[in-house]
Structure 1
């Protein structure tokens, strides 16, 4: 049977696919941009037929019609590998939950620990060799495919075809059913706005960078600022190895700063596991040999990324305490994002020969009442999640300076981190450090 004949034999409607879901099933949606649209809408039409079904996904960018149609909260439980604003809204309704993870380990979780009855993901149309491409969102899909009882591809003609790497596609032989979707546009994430504080922090990181560095950037205003500043700098021969590729990588490439020529691994290519940005990014990665989509247990593996010389990893934080512990994902016990790959790259950045790992945060924020609060704290807010332990943290950067925690005693850490806190809070932090027994009398004030 030809590939075209197989395609026709496996083609079904979204309604037919949704009817395959049973009460109690675990349904895995494609990661981030790959989450299904037509299937989700059809699942919403199941009315009161289902109970106690579970949807599992990550980095939610499309509102789920199925979940939002469940007014009782008894049809679906929403489970997310990484919270976005939509996930936080669903959690506030009492039926959405975060799944703690270290991103590099995610394929193993779905292979060993999480059952999958139905896996549904968007993908580019089948090519002449019988492959569907989901390289825009590779993540842990190969692991889900290996374990899922049913694999359903929802075709979207707007999806870019992204080179690999590996794990960036699936052959029709592995597909149970095919939905021809509605070809809806991909969600876009405009670059975050850049503040003067972001620029001040980015400038310090930029000063630590050299020609030939390999860059990993997290999401947010500061990494976006750094990408723009790199594009305008004199740096050359930079490489890219990251979990999420964003518009800033396009800027660095088009400015001639990033060519990957000095990378020993994936030379001449940016390795990534999922994309999220604007149409500029999606056009850039389409059929572009300069980019390579890989599963997350390759991009985020400490053993893999750590072999890249001069790896520079830049990530954000919510708060840092005087011991060097980093919370990057919660406000107290309330989950606001996720561990994602931050710990993966904090470890890889330090393991890399010549590598550097930076945790960046503004020194203060304003609470809902408009009061200024310090992000450098004596201890992490009660209930707060430790994303990076004190032994893994390297550089911490605020607009007031940079401090390298590695090898530093408790009193040295207290002195160094208070030194980059907002001046308004330093005396209070010193008093609290003294009370905790981590402030030496001769420390600089």
Structure 2
């Protein structure tokens, strides 16, 4: 089945530009490249106080440009810097630069979490699949900055590991500054931008950030086993990063004809492909292809996806649209949460009022799976936190906690003590099912709370 790009929000920068022929430009590509090539410090001179700057997602962030921008902090005021999932520590996030740069976090992580929770940075709520639309309707993009792979013979760069909202933000930008890095893999799909549309080019050969593969615990393996038992041959998978998804990927290697339609392409997926478990032959959409919107992991992953026709990255407005996800037969989504109450409400992005991450694509895929024929959604978590001191299944969520995935969107919940099927269950049945998979040390306490709440 072909891409459903009938709605405006699905049109990425690459889709609008890739079929345009540049007959005059083609003859002078190298000359054009040289004219636009500048030092990082020169490129960032275009930034003005009050500008909205959008940075590429995650591994696509441009470190040389960010360092050069930070050196101008004494000249600038109230520059908003938008980014989802920063990976490197950046100087512009330091407290002493708060008057010059106001970071807007679209997904809070290690580098920006402290700034958000101290009030030095803002946080942008939203579902991941909607973010490109935000740049089209709500936010004026003055400057886009991101890392790309080197230019090809036809004048195209690839956004590499970061297509997601990146391609749309670039299409909306008044000024485009690209950091060209030979270490950025060139990816297939909708990942291209032409040199004719670029204002400044900076070169940098820093290593692309890698995310280490987390070790799996015994409880991770138990949870992974429960989920793997319910994943049928021929299913299409969405897996995130973390020890539980890695454990699931390890156990799924004996399955047959699995497919992948995921927001994030990971190392665990490479293992599934190389084991023969993933063939994509049963996929409803993009048969035989690994479909994602960004990738993050180790250099092994980056080398695997580089110019690999098996892997295609598309804008998140397409990949994460629940309507698109639901067209995959037997779609399986595996997400994590920090805390869940007895109705099934998931607090996956905050610890009380303190922002920890973001909604991301959790709700996108939870809802998409429910549309899918034979689809299944899983929310996985360890039963306790802080070495067993606290139950992660609670009567009510902690005060100030943000509900990332509503009770109406949760299908299965899995801990090391079993699986609770919530979809189609009453509030009473949900509470009993969740208490049954809580840690035994907390079940009596949960039962008493449920009685007091008149749930059971």
- TM class, shorter-chain normalised? over 0.9
What is the CA-CA distance between 1:94 and the residue it aligns to? 3.6
Please say if residues 330 and 385 of structure 1, whose CA atoms lie closer than 8 Å, have aligned partners that are also in contact.
yes
Please say if residues 93 and 112 of structure 2, whose CA atoms lie closer than 8 Å, have aligned partners that are also in contact.
no
Distance 1:296 1:97, change over 3 A: same
- Map of 1:227 onto structure 2: 249
Q: Equivalents in 1 of 2:229, 2:348: separation in Å? A: 24
- Map of 1:36 onto structure 2: 62
Q: Equivalents in 1 of 2:271, 2:167: separation in Å? A: 30
- Map of 2:135 onto structure 1: 110
Q: Calculate the TM-score normalised by the size of structure 1.
A: 0.94
Residue 308 of structure 1 aligns to a residue whose secondary structure is coil
Matched, 1:277 2:300: no
Please say if residues 152 and 175 of structure 1, whose CA atoms lie closer than 8 Å, have aligned partners that are also in contact.
yes
What is the CA-CA distance between 1:324 and the residue it aligns to? 0.9
**How many residue pairs were aligned?**
430
Q: How does 1:230-379 map to 2 (within 5 A)?
A: 230-231=252-253, 233=254, 235-366=255-386, 372-379=389-396
What is the CA-CA distance between 1:130 and the residue it aligns to? 0.9
- Map of 1:175 onto structure 2: 198
Matched, 1:22 2:48: yes
Q: Deviations over 1:149-181 (max 9, x none)?
A: 1011110011111111x2x1111122122112x
Please say if residues 111 and 146 of structure 1, whose CA atoms lie closer than 8 Å, have aligned partners that are also in contact.
no
What is the CA-CA distance between 1:268 and the residue it aligns to? 0.7
Please say if residues 83 and 106 of structure 2, whose CA atoms lie closer than 8 Å, have aligned partners that are also in contact.
yes
Matched, 1:131 2:156: yes
Residue 379 of structure 2 aligns to a residue whose secondary structure is strand
- Map of 1:50 onto structure 2: 76
Please say if residues 250 and 281 of structure 1, whose CA atoms lie closer than 8 Å, have aligned partners that are also in contact.
yes
After the TM superposition, list the runs of 4 or more consecutive aligned residues in structure 1 that deviate by more than 6 angstroms: none
Q: Deviations over 1:70-114 (max 9, x none)?
A: 615211111111111112133355412221110010100111111
Residue 81 of structure 1 aligns to a residue whose secondary structure is strand
Please say if residues 117 and 354 of structure 2, whose CA atoms lie closer than 8 Å, have aligned partners that are also in contact.
no
Q: How does 1:54-69 map to 2 (within 5 A)?
A: 54-68=80-94
- Map of 2:33 onto structure 1: 7
Please say if residues 219 and 315 of structure 1, whose CA atoms lie closer than 8 Å, have aligned partners that are also in contact.
no
Q: Equivalents in 1 of 2:186, 2:128: separation in Å? A: 24
Q: Equivalents in 2 of 1:93, 1:12: separation in Å? A: 36
Q: How does 1:46-195 map to 2 (within 5 A)?
A: 46-68=72-94, 71-164=96-189, 166=190, 168-180=191-203, 182-195=204-217
Q: Deviations over 1:17-41 (max 9, x none)?
A: 1111111111111111111111111
Q: Equivalents in 2 of 1:348, 1:282: separation in Å? A: 28
Gaps of 5+ in 2: 1-24
Q: Equivalents in 2 of 1:430, 1:94: separation in Å? A: 38
Question: In structure 2, which of residues 398, 403, 409 is the aligned counterpart of residue 392 of structure 1?
Answer: 409
Q: Equivalents in 2 of 1:334, 1:318: separation in Å? A: 12
Q: Calculate the TM-score normalised by the size of structure 2.
A: 0.92
What is the CA-CA distance between 1:135 and the residue it aligns to? 3.1
Is the deviation greater in 90-99 or in 310-319?
Answer: 90-99
Gaps of 5+ in 1: 440-445
Matched, 1:414 2:431: yes
